[in-house]
């Protein structure tokens, strides 16, 4: 195919020539960065393959069980693989975990008791976790069970406030909750190295404190995970990075044997733990998704970098910016006005393979304190490793873009988001 043929295809999909030419010129500057991402993906791919081979993963493991799920060899093999990949003693990987928030709730409630306190040394937690902890009043929150919460905000430059962290750790502090990604915030995402330094610091003050990392959106972006620099638990969703776009549901918790045993008893019931939980017919998708995860995550990461460069060069604030190192797949673009967010999300939706004809609108999404607009035409409903964008309809009116099972699709989504902004007269070339 000639370049002109490609251009014609995009124009038939609704991309103006000027938008196409601009985006192509941006892409030309990113070849070296994309090559570095491919190198990371290769290391992670080999790591996953080795874990599968070490577990003697076999064709027989791909078939599911029903009922109680006793002696589910496939489920046990997948959990052994996850523990190997994340460098932990044990893992809980289940389709019974409905989402990332559910996985975090299990990890917290399983390892905390009345009178204990959670400390977040990285500022506010993600919106849906506010209800879990009880920062925002919610039935069944941890606060109702006598578990308290304290946070230490990051300094203005995004670094840790070590003095306040030290002063905040007390006899009640049982668990440190570290959110790796930015959530609905415009702070920097934390690198694994930064997380390791933070864990070492808090463990020097209180060695028995549990350090839990919300690892959502960060898996396979680097060659190591937080569990390899001291985290007692890493927690995430299978419809994000580690599911590779194939896992239809599920979550994971990897960590110490004691923490995971507690989590298993919380997920099922005391006395049953990991022994029950039929895998039904999803073991194949979970395992194959993990196999694909390094390259799928790399594709999404390339899309995020492309988005930062496209919008920063047009004068918008991007977090991370166009040249910063990357530690998750999320790209924030701060527009300052709601009409830009609406147009951006319409473009992402229009580029989707599923429901491309739908117009996204803000709505009162459960677990959030403001209306949220979300664009996601996905094969797995709500899978944010697939091309998606969402934003709370409140200042600073920043949109959060993530995903793309292939870089080419992520690129098209960003081009279409810009196209919609241009069509609405919100950008003058």
pLDDT at 366: 77
Burial string for 76-95 (b: 16+ CB within 10 Å, else e) reads bbbbbbbbbbbbbebbbbbb
Q: Which domains occur in the chain, in start order?
A: 3-43+293-423 (3.90.1150.60), 61-290 (3.40.640.10)
- Residues in the chain with pLDDT values less than 50: none
Element (H, E) at 376: strand 372-376
Give 363's contacts (C-beta < 8 A, 6+ positions apart).
Answer: 371, 372, 373
Sign, Cα dihedral of 237, 240, 246, 248: positive
The neighbouring-strand residues paired with 176 are: 119, 211
Helices and strands, number each (H, E), in the chain: 12, 12
- The first and second tokens of residue 408, run together, are 């080419």
Is 419 in a helix, a strand, or coil? helix
Calpha distance 185→127 (Å, rounded): 10
Task: Assess contact for 292 and 385: CB atoms under 8 A.
Answer: no
Task: Assess contact for 96 and 263: CB atoms under 8 A.
Answer: no
DSSP state, residue 236: E
pLDDT at 22: 98
Calpha distance 205→162 (Å, rounded): 11
Give 26's contacts (C-beta < 8 A, 6+ positions apart).
Answer: 306, 309, 310, 313
Task: Assess contact for 267 and 62: CB atoms under 8 A.
Answer: no
pLDDT at 296: 98
DSSP state, residue 273: G
Main-chain dihedrals φ then ψ at residue 379, nearest 5 degrees:
-70, -30
Task: Assess contact for 225 and 252: CB atoms under 8 A.
Answer: no
Planar angle of CA 369, 373, 379, nearest 5 degrees: 120
């Amino acid at each position: 195919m000639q370049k002109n043929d490609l251009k014609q295809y995009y124009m038939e999909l609704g991309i103006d020539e000027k938008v196409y030419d601009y985006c192509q010129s941006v892409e030309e500057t990113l070849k070296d960065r994309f090559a570095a991402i491919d190198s990371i993906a290769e290391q992670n791919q080999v790591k996953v393959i080795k874990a599968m081979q070490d577990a003697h993963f076999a064709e027989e493991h791909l078939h599911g069980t029903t009922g109680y799920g006793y002696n589910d060899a496939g489920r046990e093999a997948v959990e052994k693989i996850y523990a190997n990949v994340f460098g932990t003693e044990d893992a809980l990987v289940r389709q019974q975990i409905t989402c990332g928030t559910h996985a975090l709730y299990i990890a917290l409630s399983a390892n905390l008791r009345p009178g204990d306190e959670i400390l977040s040394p990285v500022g506010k937690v993600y919106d849906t976790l506010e209800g879990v902890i009880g920062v925002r009043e919610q039935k069944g929150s941890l606060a109702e069970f006598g578990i308290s919460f304290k946070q230490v905000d990051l300094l203005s430059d995004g670094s840790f406030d070590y003095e306040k962290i030290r002063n905040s750790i007390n006899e009640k502090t049982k668990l440190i909750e570290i959110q790796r990604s930015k959530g609905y915030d415009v702070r920097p995402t934390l690198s694994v190295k930064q997380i390791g330094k933070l864990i070492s610091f808090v463990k020097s003050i209180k060695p028995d404190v549990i350090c839990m990392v919300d690892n959502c959106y960060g898996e396979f972006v680097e060659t190591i995970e937080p569990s390899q620099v001291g985290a007692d638990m890493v927690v995430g969703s299978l419809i994000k990075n580690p599911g590779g776009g194939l896992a239809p549901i599920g979550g994971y918790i990897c960590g110490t044997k004691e923490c995971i045993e507690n989590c298993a008893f919380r997920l099922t019931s005391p006395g049953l733990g990991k022994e029950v939980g039929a895998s039904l017919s999803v073991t194949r998708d979970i395992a194959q998704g993990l196999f694909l995860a390094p390259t799928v995550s790399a594709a999404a990461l390339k899309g995020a970098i492309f988005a930062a460069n496209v919008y920063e060069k047009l004068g918008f604030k991007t977090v991370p910016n166009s040249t910063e190192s990357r530690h998750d797949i999320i790209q924030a673009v701060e527009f300052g006005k709601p009409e830009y967010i609406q147009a951006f999300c319409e473009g992402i939706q229009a580029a989707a393979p599923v429901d491309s004809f739908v117009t996204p609108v803000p709505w009162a999404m459960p677990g959030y304190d403001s209306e949220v607009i979300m664009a996601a035409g996905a094969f797995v409903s709500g899978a944010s490793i697939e091309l998606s964008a969402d934003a709370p309809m409140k200042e600073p009116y920043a949109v959060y873009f993530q995903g793309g099972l292939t870089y080419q699709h992520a690129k098209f989504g960003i081009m279409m988001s810009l196209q919609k902004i241009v069509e609405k007269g919100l950008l003058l070339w």
